[in-house]
Structure 1
């Protein structure tokens, strides 16, 4: 009996070490997450104070701080790399999961492991060159602070090393050695096979561009590998196997793409958007619009369109926009009989409509990679959003013209006036931001800090709604989203540089400039291309990759650069929020807590409206450049 008991207990004894190891790995994973998150959250705050201090010193005391931009740039690269590590730890790097999601669970699990191993492969390959890049910066001294530039460049190997640790812990924690071992073996075989084929690649010329930047990127993206790592792997493979360019040069292009100081406004505007929601400013604007239009058929749908327009003008993040508006409006809209599918369809459509509203992150990105004045882009983006919104309103009117409002009373003038007074400080914020840029008080990078200070004061003194406990999670969320975006920009910058060096840009320019039909054909081809790119790559990586190639062509065929920016942004917005591939559509579904299938039929009419508005903006340039 004793022997039998011992026999029966042996499985439990064998499972105990596995459970203990899993527990250790989970604790290690949590500890690593905290170690990354705390200093990164602090970096976001420091960036805010450094830039706001620079604005205050220059504009108020007329005594500029000469080292503020240099310090902000140094800290920014660290913020971007550590933010990328947080995004990887939280599984928040942008990736295309539409294809993977249709597969059986076993295959899906395998591809999840493959995606993680793909990212790990890129990180392991790029780490030595990033270390060399940082070492080469040691003799370089910064002009204002007089310190070695290696302090800034060291962010690259440090960030990559931390991400390697995150991937390694996650793979060990899976415990499924068959999947992990298979993915590692497959990765090793692919890398080895490509290395053996190097002599063949050297003789293929520009056919390599199709192999690595079309076939390679497509396979990686559709397999669920995060977009930044898919770009990075393809660029690394192309440069290592088909050219004599040292990989340290690729690292330099990645660093160049990430550390453009204009992009510092990305995390700051993301944080501003979260503040808008937390302080109640977004809800105040929604309440005012609802008091005006709640008694009209489809009135709350019009409120949704208008509220998204206003909030987009101050947050810069579509996820933050939708998260601020949906919880405030959807319960009442459902109570009035609106179907969940209709709500999520309209929310996604307004997300696409407001892509041009300043300070859109895509506008800032276009300005950084093309050299177009961000102030001009901010001015040019206002009216296209109004035009497309008006066409969406036509669809809303048609769908709600028989709505029964017998139980809804019109808000009295006193109530409208009260909600307007309450909302006025929030409504004023977009105008404060725009005025600060136009009047030269702050640059497009610095102006977000003015918005942050304004929002903090409004939350504390006017709305009396400021939850200090939410600040740290908001800072971490800001860093994660910003890091994911910035790593994509860095990898896409390296890929775009590779395309330029290959001569592809010249061939593309010749082909696009030689299209029959002149400007109209060029615009139609651009619209079609960016709708597809927006659905597959999302807006920012598509802009970074193709913006430097196509904007000179647009200028060559007579299209104003601001006008062209509005056309491609709206086109990418349609792709981003249109199912089945649009990631923005699934984000809207997640925020609305609605199954994606419910919105497929209702969104069709809104997509048609968006395309009509896009064509109107494309072929009436005054809409984009009339107020420049």
Structure 2
């Protein structure tokens, strides 16, 4: 009953346009006052502080800043040129370039919105010029950008790992196969759509052009190697890897490509601070809500009630997928993780679901949520760049959402797809 009342009040506040972080904070305060009086508010202030100062969470502002630096330092454009030279000559090649660049960009920023901002502003106008409809250009850009939260490093995975007390490194490794498989299937769908709509081929295959664009993009291509190589080798943590990403973007932008000046750097840092403030306010307020729910024994009661009905992990995962897909339509990814994970983790543990496996399931659900209105932050950003209608683009986007849904089902019911690589870790 406590969970139901809290959920109704929270949804009501969100529907009247109260900011999500504020709504969570108000529900937390109201819950403490009504159940235990005002004395618990002192504990709430401690929860607010400790919730936002966890060491793994430092990676979030750093990856946000790294993604913004790529947008303003010429790194993104050089990556686009190189991938275009590699695969742009096939039918629908420019759409495949969009997906390929998103996969590379994902290995640096960990943010789907940053991915759209970086690639969409360059590729969407070019796709429209070459005969792609604005809705198709927006759909390809939007769906491929969601690979940024599946392929490591991933900001949602960092957030999930901190809340669920699960290894972020294992989450990163578990996301590799689903992310690469998703990218390949998105390219396949793009190819069939290119045949259906008779889209043009790009420029012919030119080895000299590939070599030239590779030389120009060489330093940009070293960023994924530096970041992921450092993390997976154990030389640095995910948080320290985020610091490496910022340092590499600064050095490459300022001293090698020289496209980043002091004014662009200032604007980039201000944008990063603004985006970080939104996320961290959500994290802090969620810690207070988590404290209230924990003291009220809500997660434990929910786990007990469901396990009385069924302890079959497959059925429980199906129920959780439905819950996450519905919430993903109305909440941003960070908010969904913050609200759902603390409540359902006792249930996940009780029925024997691997927390790393569940983390990938949560991430894939959020990737689909980024494509499904009314919230659909990534889709809306892509439509804004393409000047396309959201609902028209959503219809065009259905085959690509189908790919993400297929990967979700595959990972949910064939756990080895995501966990096979983690078995080689100590």
Same fold (TM over 0.5): yes
* Aligned positions of 1:10-25 closer than 5 A: none
Whether the 8 Å CA contact 2:116–2:378 is kept in 1: the answer is no
Secondary structure, aligned partner of 1:441:
coil
Name which of 260, 263, 284 aligns with 2:78: 284
Is the 8 Å Cα contact of residues 297 and 400 (structure 1) preserved in structure 2?
yes
Q: Which of the pair has the greater relative contact order for Cα pairs under 8 Å at 6+ separation? A: 2
Mapped contact 2:151–2:175 kept (Cα < 8 A):
yes
User: 2:243 and 2:47 mapped to 1: Cα distance?
Assistant: 28
- The question of whether the paired residues in 1 share the 8 Å contact of 2:109 and 2:153 is answered with yes
Is the 8 Å Cα contact of residues 353 and 570 (structure 1) preserved in structure 2? no
CA–CA distance in structure 1, aligned partners of residues 306 and 251 of structure 2: 50
Q: Provide structure 2 residue ranges, at least 5 long, that are not aligned to the other structure.
A: none
Matches within 5 A, 1:599-610: 599-610=393-404
Structure 1 distance, partners of 2:115, 2:203, is 28
| Paired residues of 1:311 and 1:321 also in contact (CA < 8 A) | yes
How big is the shift at 1:309? 1.3
Aligned to 2:181: 387
Per-residue deviation, 1:322: 0.7
Alpha-carbon contact 1:365-1:543 (below 8 Å) kept? yes
Aligned to 2:272: 478
Residue by residue over 1:151-190, the C-alpha shift from the partner in whole angstroms, topping out at 9 and shown as x without a partner, is xxxxxxxxxxxxxxxxxxxxxxxxxxxxxxxxxxxxxxxx
The residue matched to 2:170 in structure 1 has which SS?
helix
Q: Deviations over 1:186-214 (max 9, x none)?
A: xxxxxxxxxxxxxxxxxxxxx34422x12
Output the TM-score relative to the length of structure 2: 0.93
> In the alignment, is residue 322 of structure 1 matched against residue 113 of structure 2?
no
Deviations 1:139-158 (A, max 9, x none): xxxxxxxxxxxxxxxxxxxx
Please, which of 1, 7, 10 is the counterpart of residue 217 of structure 1? 10
- Residues 535 and 583 of structure 1 are in contact (CA less than 8 Å); yes or no, is this contact kept in structure 2? no
Q: Deviations over 1:300-337 (max 9, x none)?
A: 11111111111111012222111110122122211111
Aligned mates of 1:303, 1:514 — CA distance in 2: 50
Q: Does 1:612 align with 2:406?
A: yes
Aligned residues: 421
After superposition, where does 1:352-367 map in structure 2 within 5 Å?
352-367=146-161
Question: Runs of 4+ in structure 1 displaced over 6 angstroms?
Answer: none
> Residues 562 and 208 (structure 1 numbering): CA distance in 2 closer, same or farther, change over 3 Å?
closer
Aligned pairs for 1:212-611 within 5 A: 213-244=6-37, 245-402=39-196, 404=198, 408-516=202-310, 518-611=312-405
Q: CA deviation at 1:356?
A: 1.6
> Partner of 1:624 in structure 2?
418
Give how far 1:515 is off.
4.7
Specify the structure having the higher radius of gyration (Cα): 1
Spell out, residue by residue over 1:326-350, the C-alpha distance to the aligned partner (whole angstroms, 9 max, x if none).
1221222111111111111222212
Residue 371 (structure 1) shift:
1.6
Instruction: Provide the secondary structure at the position in 1 that maps to 2:17.
Output: coil
Encode CA deviations 1:272-325: one digit per residue, 9 max, x unaligned.
111112221111111111112222111111111111111111012222111110
Using the size of structure 1 for normalisation, the TM-score is 0.64
Stretches of structure 1 that go unaligned for 5 or more consecutive residues are 1-206
Shift, 1:513, TM fit: 3.3
The whole-number CA distance in structure 2 between the counterparts of 1:561 and 1:405 is 43
**Cα distance in 2 between the residues matched to 1:506 and 1:604:** 37
Conserved? CA contact 1:460–1:466, under 8 Å: yes
CA apart distance, 1:542: 1.9
> Is the contact made by 1:515 and 1:521 (CA closer than 8 Å) also made in structure 2?
no
1:405–1:444 CA distance, 2 compared to 1 (3 A): closer
Which stretch shifts more, 314-323 or 588-597? 588-597
Contact 2:103 2:148 in 1 (8 A): yes
Asked whether the equivalents of residues 367 and 404 of structure 2 are also in contact (C-alpha less than 8 Å), the reply is no
**1:104 aligned residue:** none
Separation in structure 1 between the aligned mates of residue 98 and residue 72 of structure 2, nearest angstrom: 19
Task: Please tell me whether the aligned partners of residues 574 and 611 of structure 1 are also in contact (alpha carbons under 8 angstroms).
Answer: yes
CA contact (8 A) 1:298 1:403 kept: no
Give the Å deviation of 1:512.
Answer: 3.6
Q: Find the aligned partners of 1:499 and 1:369 in 2 and give their Cα distance.
A: 14
444-453 or 513-522, which deviates more = 513-522
User: What's the CA shift for 1:353?
Assistant: 3.4
> What displacement does 1:574 show?
0.8
C-alpha contact (below 8 Å) 1:297/1:402 kept by paired residues: no
